[in-house]
Structures are given as structure tokens and as C-alpha cells.
Structure 1
């Protein structure tokens, strides 16, 4: 039976790893000091800095943030701050959300065919909406009914996927999760979701052998009987 909903990762799945690693992350790192100087006292930013300080007492928040950036940490306060920095870049046109060419048409066809769509990424919900809202293919956010980040739990924890299924009010078996990361797929499968690994040759992804694998979204559509 075809799934009723598709839950998709971003980096390595809808979007090239290089865009995140070589464009978004350096953009946030380069803008960090100026952003904190201009906006550090604003309530939303101050709340994030308080979380950073609580996580690393005795260290200046900016230093902790830079360490987390260097470590590619998935820390929720870091992801939230990066999202705020990226928002400025998207809004003033310095950034455009990159998607693999096959993705927008499939997303539109799936939504038009009645599939419910959602995103689950380690990037903040705000950052997710910016990427899809300011994408090279236009504003795709109306296609999605849910956006989830690490506030729901880690991506390698089965409980996170169970929580997302509950939030979507769907049995886990009715949801197809798309990701390039085998351990994320393992966790989703443990929660009862259907899974497919995206093996994008340009990203150097290797099929894990534990889950169905496809090179692009049209391949996913053919394998699972999705619209379009």
C-alpha cells in the first residue's frame, strides 16, 4: 500500500550536502560576530545566548557557538541562531535555497495527489522554512503541513519518529521517511515508518544495504507508487 505521507530530510536528500557545508555554514560563521553585535539584546537572540551560556558555563557564548560550528554540532541553540542569521541572507537575496532539480516537481505532484508532506531536519524549523520558502524553484512551503527539528528529539532516536507520527496523527506505517543517512533510517524503521535511502552520486552517498535505495525523487515515486 502506498504511503499517506512523506517525511523528508534536507541535507543530502532534497539538497546537496555542499550547499549546506560550503554555503550556509560559512555564511553563518562569517556573519556571527556582526549579528550578535547588532541583535544580541533582542529577546529571541538573548534567549538563545542564555541557552548557550547554560550549556557551557564560564565561556563566552560566541566562543561556544564557534566551537559548535567547528564540530558540526547539532545543538538546538546553535541551529536556532544559524536560522536567524540565514533569514537575513534569504530576505536580502544573498541566499537562495538550493534543491536537487528533481525535487520541486515531485513535491508538487505528491501534494497535488493528496500526499501529506513534512520535513524533519537537524536545522531549525525556521531555517527549513527559509530554504523552501526562498528556494530557486519558488516558495514551496505551502506544500508542507509540518516542519520538525531536534526539538522533537535526535534524528537517530526511534522516539523522535514516533513523536512525529503522533503529531501528524498517522500510524507510523503510513509515513515514508526519506534520508541519505542510514542511522536515521534505522531509527525511523524501528518506530515503524517506511524508509528509503537517497543515494545521490554527487554527494558520494553509499547505499547501506539495509533499506530500499533510490538515486532521486522520481525513483522513490516509482518504487512506492507515489503520484507523478
Structure 2
């Protein structure tokens, strides 16, 4: 297989979102400010809700500040946003805010033009599709539900994040996903723009391909010795029936 003409015979494709299916700029320029503007209300008026309370407790644990109040927690969340830190409680709270924003029609997700046709073709060909993103599962579900081309969730067999699978640059996370899906590791293909994630997936026995889109943060860095393509059109994915 050529690194620049990747062909894969697999049973399932696992998708990263940011920088792979969708523009990082949309997340940073649209979704981050949307959540930043709503953290204070969430932390003060809805702190008793189980998901919010759990996230607050996780922030306190991660910062070593067990008595941190809403203002201190909001400050931490905004600092993590500035650093683009993939902290689970941040992603949980973002997911709550974004899900509601999508449901209200305030937000519509972004997909590169080559992505949705490829997902539909792969699904029709009998391939299972999964998502593994640092964004929370609720945020992923909202993202695929409220796309410019309608509800895409019927194409997706499962959603994984840093809470139910683990950190994206650890091989153990990919082993958990393989076990959960029941797909043999060598029959799973992971698509991502981040070399560290691709390395971890390969260490778990997965097939890998890097998506290098001009203008994305990891474009210049490249994807090391992984197969690569500039769009989903540049990847041939099939599922043998023998």
C-alpha cells in the first residue's frame, strides 16, 4: 500500500472530528465562544444537575481546589479553553451547552464537503462507522444530528470520548473501543489529523490513515509514516465479504 494511495479492507472506520471530518476553525471560532458565554449560568443555576455536579467535582479534583466556587471553576474552564486542553469536565460542560444550542437552532455543525458522501458510501457498503473525539458523547451526538445535511446519526454505530474510552494518545483507549465494538483491531481503521493519536491506534493493532487538510493546525507537522490523504476522497475503504 502506498502512503499516498491508501487502500483498506476493514470492517469499521473510526472518525476523529476536529481537523478530520470538520474544520478546527469552526470549533475554535464558533463553538468555544458560545460555550464560554454560557459557563457562568450553567455553573450557578444548574450546579445540582448530575452531569454538571460531576463535572464540577472533576474540575475541583484536577485543580486540587476542593472548595472552588463557581467563579473559580469558570476561570479554570476558560483557561483550559485558551490552552485547548482536552479536559473531560470541560468537554462535558461544553457538550451540555452545545447540545442545547444545536437543539435551539443557534448552532449548525460543520463538515468538509468530501466527508458526508464518503460516510454514506461506506455505510451503504456495509462498513460500521464510529466516532472517537475529545468532545463529549452528547456533543458528538448533537454535532451529527444537526449537520447542514440533516441528521447523520443513523450512519453511526457508536460514539466514544475521553470519558468512556480514555485519552486519545494512549493505546489502551483504542483497545477499549475495539473490545466495546467487538471488531478485531486489525479490521478497524482510524482517521485522524494528529500523529500522536494515529501512533496510539496503531500500537493497539489498528489500521490508520492521517487526514492532512491545508489550513488545519497539524497540516505542516504531517502524520509521520502513516498512510495519508488530503480528503476522504483520497482513501479507498472496502469490506471484503469472503
**TM-score, structure 2 normalization:** 0.88
Which residue of structure 1 aligns with residue 104 of structure 2?
92
Q: CA offsets, 1:83-131, max 9 Å, x none?
A: 0011121011110010001111111111111001000000101111111
Match of 1:13 in 2: 20
Superposition pairs of residues 168-187 of structure 1, within 5 angstroms: 168-187=181-200
Hey, what does 2:174 align to over in structure 1? 161
Structure 2: distance between partners of 1:73 and 1:217: 27
- The answer to whether 1:217 aligns with 2:224 is no
Say which of 33, 44, 62 aligns to 1:37. 44
* Equivalent position of 1:150 in the other structure: 162
Deviation at 1:226, TM superposition (A): 6.6
After superposing the two structures, state which structure 1 stretch, 205-214 or 9-18, moved more: 205-214
Higher helix share: 1
User: Do the aligned partners of 2:129 and 2:158 also contact (CA within 8 Å) in 1?
Assistant: yes
Which of 190, 193, 204 is matched with 2:203 structurally?
190
5+ unaligned residues in a row in structure 2: which ranges? 1-7
Taking a change above 3 Å as real, the CA distance of residues 111 and 93 of structure 1, as seen in their structure-2 partners, is same
Task: Tell me the equivalent position of 2:3.
Answer: none
Greater displacement, 5-14 / 35-44: 35-44
The alignment yields a C-alpha RMSD, in angstroms, of: 1.6
Match of 1:23 in 2: 30
* Range 165-174 or range 65-74, more displaced: 65-74
TM-score (norm 1): 0.93
Higher relative contact order (CA 8 A, sep 6+): 2
Find the residue that maps to 1:150 and give its secondary structure: coil
Aligned length: 225
Deviation of 1:225 after TM superposition, in Å, equals 4.1
Per-residue deviation, 1:61: 2.0
Contact preservation (8 Å) 2:229, 2:235: yes
The match for 1:111 is 123
Aligned-partner Cα distance in 1 for 2:223–2:124: 31
**Unmatched 5+ residue regions in structure 1?**
none
